[in-house]
Amino acid sequence: MNGADVLGPAELAEMTTWVDARLGEVTGYGLGLSRRESQLGTQYGHDGGIWGFTSSSYYAVDSGSSITVLVNLEVGDARRIVDDLSDVLIMR
């Protein structure tokens, strides 16, 4: 499954039209989607949280790999876990 299966080409293009946003590893922001550089190369995704929970979900463009982490701890570092799992994907 790729983005074209969920969104039409115009919607996907709009979602991935990046605005420069230098926030740590985040290098751009689209429509509800952030872009960042990682060990796997460019990743598209988003982080989030609410009382008692944090989440991080990213798609590695070059490898076609997706990693989603949900942590039921408000101070959990879901993005760090995504990075650790990215290391595992690199090693395989």
Q: Which of 88, 86, 2, 89 is nearest to 37 (CA)?
A: 86
Report the pLDDT value the prediction gives residue 59, as an integer from 0 to 100.
Answer: 92
**Rounded (5°) CA angle 48-69-52:** 55
Query: Going by C-beta distance under 8 Å and a sequence separation of 6 or more, which residues neighbour residue 42?
Result: 35, 36, 60, 61, 62
Range of the domain at 36: 3-91
62 phi, psi to nearest 5 deg: -70, -40
The total number of structural domains in the chain stands at 1
**Rounded (5°) CA angle 30-76-60:** 40
pTM score: 0.76
For 71-87, write each residue's pLDDT tens digit.
997 777 888 888 888 87
